[in-house]
Amino acid sequence: MFLASLRPLATWARAFSTTSVLEAGYKLKSHSGAKKRWRSSPGLQSFKRGRAGRAHLNTSKAPARLNRLGNTAYSTPAQTHKLRKVLLPYGSG
């Protein structure tokens, strides 16, 4: 009974690859958490972010550690590839 209600596989359309955004009826959203943490460098070659752990409770941390936490962190090539998909779901254009 369940199998009779299914349509043949040939008639199923994949909305994400065969139709436009307006025809599909939904839009992909960029990742809100990544938007708050990462900034793009010129040309989208990499992304940069601040390091966590420097806001409070700093008296027990070594000065070298605090200096390191104050530096900017840059994305690796693998992170850059993933961040482009997460932050720009439709590409950079």
- Tens digit of each residue's pLDDT (9 = 90 or more) over 10-53: 555 554 455 676 777 788 899 999 999 999 988 778 999 999 99
Residues paired with residue 67 on neighbouring β-strands, in sequence order: none
CA angle (76, 55, 51) in 5-degree steps: 5
Question: At 2, which helix (H) or strand (E)?
Answer: helix 2-5
Reference 50, options 67, 66, 28, 74; nearest CA is 74
pTM to 2 decimals? 0.64
Long-range contacts of 60-67 (CB under 8 A, 24+ apart): none
Q: Where are the domains of the chain?
A: 2-87
Q: How does pLDDT run across 77-91, given as a tens digit for each residue? A: 999 999 999 998 888
Whether domain 2-87 has CATH 3.90.1150.10: the reply is: no
